[in-house]
Homo-oligomer: A and B are copies of this chain.
Amino acid sequence: MLNEVIFYSLEKTIKRYRQFAQAHITHAGIDITIDQWLVLNVIREAPELGQVEIGERVFKDQASVARIIELLVKKKLIVREPSASDRRKLDMQLTEAGRELMNVVTPIVQNYRRLALAGLNETDVDQLKSILDIIFTNCLSTPHKHETIHKPKPAGQPDAAGG
């Protein structure tokens, strides 16, 4: 029954894809995670962005971005220095190692993305995107009262089904 649910297919596919992607990076002897690469890529393209804005581009929250940036600094792929214009910020910049790593990883990423889409034409991908966008939009709404079958317990005894 669970297997029939489309959301299981979604989870299954995205998890497999992540493993596939990471395997290609690791197989090439490169010591970086996909997530780190994503953030590094944004920093390269738009070094002026703050952590919140970086997060918006890679669908991560600010806290996750902060920790990934820390790792990028530890790995000497970027350097940070206090921003002159806003002392809360730290200006970031790819090191030579960071730029070289981008040069190595980018074609690998293009390659495994191509492999993952083998057998699909542009129409397929277009349809996939359309359907995903609909689901995404549906999931923007917040839960309403009338959608709730069981109310939160009113601090009294739990109802018949309550747990």
Contact = CB atoms under 8 A, between A and B. Distances in A.
Integer count of this chain's copies in the complex: 2
A151 B104 contact: no
A100 B158 CA distance: 10
Interface string A119-163: 110101111110111111011111100011111110000101111
B101 A119 contact: no
With most chain B CB atoms within 10 A of its CB, the pick from A13, A31, A124, A129 is A13
Interface string A47-73: 000000000010100000000000000
28 contacts: A2-B129, A3-B125, A4-B113, A9-B129, A10-B132, A11-B14, A12-B59, A13-B132, A13-B135, A20-B140, A23-B142, A27-B142, A28-B143, A28-B151, A30-B150, A98-B163, A100-B161, A100-B163, A101-B161, A103-B163, A107-B150, A108-B148, A108-B150, A111-B147, A116-B138, A116-B139, A117-B135, A128-B131
Interface of A: 2-17, 19-20, 23-24, 27-31, 41-42, 57, 59, 75-77, 97-98, 100-101, 103-104, 107-108, 110-120, 122, 124-129, 131-136, 138-143, 147-153, 158, 160-163
